Amino acid sequence: MNFNTDKLEISDRIIHLENDFCVVTKLAGENSQTDIPKIFKDEIEFKLNKKIDFIECPHRLDMPVSGIQIIALNKESFNFFTQNFSNNKIHKTYWAIVEGVHDLQYQTLQDFLVFNTKKQKAYLHDEQVRKTKKVVLDFYIFAQGQKYSFVEVFPQTGRTHQIRAQLSKNLMPIKGDVKYGAKRSDTIPGIRLVARSIKTPVPNSKELKEFTSQIFPIDNLWQSFIDSYEVYKQGFSDGKK
C-alpha cells in the first residue's frame, strides 16, 4: 500500500465545520498547538467565507499520535471546550497496535503519573507520591495478529503521555513508540496510536456529538486492525459478546 500522504488534500482531513469550531484529523508529526491552526486556517476561511481572527486548539495530541483534533474558532468556543476537557465531559476513544500477542481481555489500569518536562517523558507509580496525578484508562484487546495485538482504549483521565506510559507498564508498548519500550521505530510516521473518536458537548447545543477520525496512511497492518475491528463489532451486534 502507498504510505505517502503528501498528496492528501487539507479538505479531506476536515471532519466537521461550523462557525464556532472545526474537527479535523491530525497527522503524526504535526504539533497540535503550532502546526494545526496554520495548516487549516486558509481552508476553514475559504469554506466559511469569512476572515478568522482567532484559531487555537483547546486540547493536544502528542506529536507522534494522529487522529481527532478540535480547533476552536473563537475565544468562547476555546473556553467552552477547555472547560469540558477539564471536567472530563469529553470522552475519547483511541486505537492502538501494541507489541506482543496478548490474551483477549478487558482491563482497567490505575496509576499515578508524573511528567518530567526536561526529559519529556511520563513516569508511573503504583502509589501517590509527590507531584503525581492519578491516571485511569480502560482498554480492550479484541484481536491478535502474528506479532501484535489490537486494542481499543478508553482514557478516563487525560494526562500527557498517559496511554503510552500505562500500556508500556502493562508490557504492551505501542508499536513504534521507542520512548516507551517499543523495540524499534515504525515503518510509517509516528506511532500506532490514533485518537479514533470523540464524544463531546458542542457550543450552542444541548446534545452530545460524536466525531470519528480517518486513519492516514493505512498500510497492511492498519487494514488488518480495521478488518478485525469490524468482525469484533459485528459480534456485538449479533449478541455474541
pLDDT digit string, tens, across residues 186-196: 999 999 999 99
Does position 112 have pLDDT exceeding 60, yes or no?
yes
Domain range for 32: 10-237
How crowded is the C-beta side of 3, counted as CA atoms within 13 Å? Answer: 10
Task: State the Cα–Cα distance between residues 126 and 163, nearest whole angstrom.
Answer: 16
Q: What distance in Å separates the CA atoms of residue 133 and residue 170, rounded to the nearest whole number?
A: 18
In a domain, 218, yes or no: yes
- Look at residue 154 in the predicted model and tell me its pLDDT: 98
pLDDT for res 241: 53
Average pLDDT of span 107-131:
95
Question: How much of the chain exceeds pLDDT 90, in percent?
Answer: 89
In this predicted structure, the answer to whether residue 1 has a pLDDT above a threshold of 50 is no
Band of pLDDT at residue 6, cut at 50, 70 and 90: low
Q: In which band, very low, low, confident or very high, does the pLDDT at 235 lie, cut at 50, 70 and 90?
A: confident
pLDDT band at 226 (very low <50, low <70, confident <90, very high): very high
In a domain, 5, yes or no: no
Q: In 3D, which of 113, 98, 123 has the Cα closest to residue 194?
A: 98
**Rounded mean pLDDT of the chain?**
94
**CATH assignment at residue 125:** 3.30.2350.10
pTM score, whole prediction: 0.93
For residue 2, being part of any structural domain is answered with no
Query: Is position 131 within any domain?
Result: yes
| pLDDT score, position 103 | 95
pLDDT category at 92 given cuts 50, 70, 90 is very high
- Residue 239 pLDDT > 80, yes or no? no
Look at residues 221, 196, 178 and name the one whose alpha carbon lies nearest to residue 61: 196
Query: Does the pLDDT of residue 139 top 70, yes or no?
Result: yes
Span 23-58, pLDDT tens digits:
999 999 999 999 999 999 999 999 999 999 999 999
pLDDT at 2 over 60: no
Structurally, the chain folds into a number of domains equal to: 1
Q: Is residue 1 part of a domain?
A: no
Q: Is residue 97 a part of any domain in this protein?
A: yes
The DSSP code sequence of the chain is: -----TT--GGGGEEEE-SSEEEEEEPTT--TTTHHHHHHHHHHHHHHTS--S--B-SS---TT-EEEEEEESSHHHHHHHHHHHHTT-SEEEEEEEEES----EEEEEEEEEEEETTTTEEEEESS--TT-EEEEEEEEEEEE-SSEEEEEEEESS--TTHHHHHHHHTT-PBTT-GGGT-SS--SSSS-SEEEEEEEEE-TT-SSEEEEE---SS--HHHHHHHHHHHHHHHHHHTT--
Which residues, in sequence order, are bridge partners of residue 174? 98
Is pLDDT larger for residue 241 or for residue 42? Answer: 42
Assigned domain for 138 exists: yes
Kindly state whether residue 3 falls inside one of the protein's structural domains.
no
**pLDDT at residue number 205:** 87
- Report residue 110's pLDDT band, with 50, 70 and 90 as the boundaries: very high
pLDDT tens profile 147-171: 999 999 999 999 999 999 999 999 9
